[in-house]
Amino acid sequence: AWKGIPQLNLGDNTEVERSDKDIGEIADGTTEKTVEDVVRIGGGLDISITGTIVDLRTGSGLIRRCPQCIHGHIEPVMDLRLKATVDDGTGAISAVIGRAETEKITGITLEQAEEISKTKGDMGAVANKMASILILKKVTVKGNVMTDDFGPQMIVHSADISNVDVQSE
């Protein structure tokens, strides 16, 4: 495994044979973990973590993205992204959430974000609006997690806000 993600390396001298041995049932789908679990194992694929959004970091909201990731002078395209810090009580994880899931959990489309930015004259206004919607909300994020010197980071492929009755909880 590398940073908690399973790997299989086959080289020129590798021999592969079919096995008729029964390996049992293989788990299919996401695995629920705590941040503490993820830190201990170093990461993983298809991890699900439920926690509270405690911060939106710089680089959240309306961003300019290179359309092709080619160096040189390229006209950027507008996009939405969240860089959220999710705390589940055992630790915190950085969750990078792309446009589709950002639109889903904030209710703000790219077009609306561009209008907010234009009206306020500041791209940061979009991140501020998103923060007012998301901070202290309970969220379940699912994706792949890697851990490095800066801690665990999840590239999110699914995010859902949980409606929690805070008083009863």
pLDDT value of position 92? 96
pLDDT band at 166 (very low <50, low <70, confident <90, very high): low
Strands 92-97 and 61-65: unpaired
**54, 136 contact by CB (below 8 A):** yes
| Helix H or strand E segment including 133 | helix 124-134
114-148 tens-digit pLDDT: 999 999 999 899 999 999 999 999 999 999 999 88
Q: What are phi and psi of 110, to 5 degrees?
A: -60, -40
- State CA 143 to chain mean position distance: 6
Distance, in Å, from the CA atom of 91 to the CA atom of 103, rounded to the nearest integer, reads 26
82-96 tens-digit pLDDT: 999 999 999 999 999
